């Protein structure tokens, strides 16, 4: 493991260790918010679209939840001359590039499901080692700042391609041919290749020095947590799980909500604008919240993020047909999410077991992907309630999200974080 003193870790180094997150966020933000919801309409009945989208993403995220701790455990004990992290970033990226065309090649739910699941496995093979750059390379007193930069870069990645991808996919859904779908997928692939190359060429790791470990051993120990010694980490996972259930439910079904309830003419473009407004809120809070948490502690900021998220959901619940209020709610949710993801990640780096950074940060995906998976299961609930009364299912979704934000914030009271090491 490389330890870098505070005076040696420069501003550009924060970008070097986080640029890969830009591409990962661009990939999954575009797939989940724009490409997959419209792609499914090619072969799924409109009355069942929320169900199929929810089940598709649920299955893939369950795999993501399982893969990250295993990939992290193997990475922690890698002995590659390239370091412990970069070989897996390279391998995972290559596999993603091979699988991404499958999203556009077949008009079959089962086949799209298979490619989506394999994409989740491949992406998370790279994502788990990437996440360990901060505890590996950043001094403990700078991890809040580094987490703020990481969140800022990932937020920018999540929104940078949304609008062009939305324009491509609106033309595709209007029946102008598959060219626009391939334009969207190619754009995502190009950004991923560039970010991977920058990471491989600029991040300096020492050769891996961990003990070699077999795949069977990694499988057997990847999910083990000493509960008595890491009780705060368990409460952290539960809190994070609830936050992400709310965030992912809103992200996943926003396009259908805008189409079915708000009644916008171009739902993909409206969903992209909603996301862009949300990102504006994220950009306003992600970096300063992470930086500020180095001085004030993590919990107060994450606690405030939970109540701010509940406020944003309340606006969507009470004003579902007002486009200006919906955009305002997007900004409020963005402020909440920006403060949450940077400060919550800094809290994670404080709580991880030393020497097992990638594995423990991979375990956070039990909450991240697990929350995403459970959030997607709101889809069948929406369709079931909508069958009783049109649009009512989205109101039920907002109630669920409201409760998750509040409960996630209150669970933070159980966490006793030690000082960063």
Q: List, in order of start, the domains of the chain with CATH numbers.
A: 11-414 (1.20.1250.20)
Q: d(Cα 71, Cα 202) in Å, to the nearest integer?
A: 22
If we measure between CA atoms, which residue out of 250, 240, 238 comes closest to residue 401?
A: 250
Q: DSSP for 143-166?
A: HHHHHHHHHHHHHHHHHHTHHHHH
- Hey, what are 123's tokens? 């992406």
Residue that the structure tokens 């724009």 belong to: 34
Position 283 scores a pLDDT of 85
How far is C-alpha 313 from the chain's CA centre? Answer: 19
Give CA separation, 67 vs 27, 60, 126, in Å: 18, 11, 10
Are the C-beta atoms of residues 260 and 312 closer than 8 Å to each other? no
Q: b/e string for 197-218 if b means 16 or more Cβ within 10 A?
A: ebbbeebebeebebeebeeeeb
Contacts with 69 (C-beta within 8 Å, 6 or more apart), sequence order: 128, 222, 223, 359, 362, 363, 365, 366
Give the Cβ contact number of residue 94 at 10 Å.
14
Block means of pLDDT (10 residues each) for the chain, length 421 residues?
A: 50 89 93 89 85 86 84 79 87 96 89 94 92 83 81 84 86 74 94 96 72 58 68 87 93 88 84 86 84 78 92 95 93 93 81 72 80 86 92 94 94 68 46
Q: d(Cα 89, Cα 29) in Å, to the nearest integer?
A: 19
Residue that the structure tokens 């169900």 belong to: 51
pTM score over 0.85: no
Position 317 scores a pLDDT of 95
DSSP state of 208: P
Give CA separation, 388 vs 36, 46, 391, in Å: 26, 16, 9
Position 4 scores a pLDDT of 41
Position 211 scores a pLDDT of 53
Position 208 scores a pLDDT of 53
Position 101 scores a pLDDT of 94
């Amino acid at each position: 493991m490389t330890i870098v003193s505070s005076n040696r870790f420069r501003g550009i180094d924060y970008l070097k260790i986080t640029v890969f997150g830009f591409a990962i966020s661009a990939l999954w933000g575009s797939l989940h918010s724009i490409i997959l919801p419209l792609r499914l309409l090619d072969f799924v009945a409109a009355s069942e679209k929320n169900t199929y989208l929810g089940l598709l993403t649920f299955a893939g995220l369950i795999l993501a939840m399982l893969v990250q701790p295993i990939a992290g455990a193997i990475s922690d004990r890698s002995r590659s001359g390239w370091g412990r992290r970069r070989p897996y970033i390279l391998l995972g990226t290559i596999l993603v590039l091979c699988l991404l065309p499958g999203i556009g090649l077949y008009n079959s739910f089962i086949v799209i499901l298979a490619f989506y699941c394999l994409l989740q496995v491949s992406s998370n093979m790279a994502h788990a080692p990437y996440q360990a750059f901060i505890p590996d390379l950043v001094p403990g007193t700078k991890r809040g700042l580094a987490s703020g930069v990481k969140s800022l870069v990932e937020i920018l990645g999540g929104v940078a391609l949304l609008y062009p991808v939305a324009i491509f996919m609106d033309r595709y859904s209007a029946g102008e041919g598959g060219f626009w779908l391939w334009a969207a997928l190619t754009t995502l692939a190009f950004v991923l290749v560039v970010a991977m190359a920058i990471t491989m060429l600029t991040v300096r790791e020492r050769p891996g020095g961990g003990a070699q470990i077999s795949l069977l051993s990694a499988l057997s120990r990847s999910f083990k947590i000493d509960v008595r010694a890491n009780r705060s980490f368990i409460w952290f996972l539960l809190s994070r799980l609830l936050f992400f259930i709310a965030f992912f439910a809103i992200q996943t079904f926003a396009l259908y909500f805008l189409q079915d309830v708000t009644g916008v003419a171009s739902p993909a473009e409206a969903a992209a604008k909603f996301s862009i407004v949300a990102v504006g809120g994220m950009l306003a809070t992600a970096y300063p919240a992470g930086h500020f948490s180095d001085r004030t502690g993590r919990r107060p900021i994450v606690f405030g993020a939970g109540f701010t998220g509940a406020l944003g959901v309340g606006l969507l619940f009470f004003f579902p047909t007002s486009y200006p209020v919906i955009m305002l709610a997007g900004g409020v949710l963005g402020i909440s999410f920006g403060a949450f993801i940077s400060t919550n990640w800094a809290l994670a780096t404080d709580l991880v077991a030393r020497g097992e950074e990638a594995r423990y940060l991979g375990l956070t995906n039990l909450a991240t992907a697990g929350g995403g998976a459970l959030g997607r299961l709101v889809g069948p609930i929406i369709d079931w309630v909508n069958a009783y009364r049109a649009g009512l299912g989205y109101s039920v979704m907002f109630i669920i999200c409201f409760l998750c934000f509040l409960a996630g914030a209150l669970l933070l009271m159980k966490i006793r974080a030690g000082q960063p090491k």
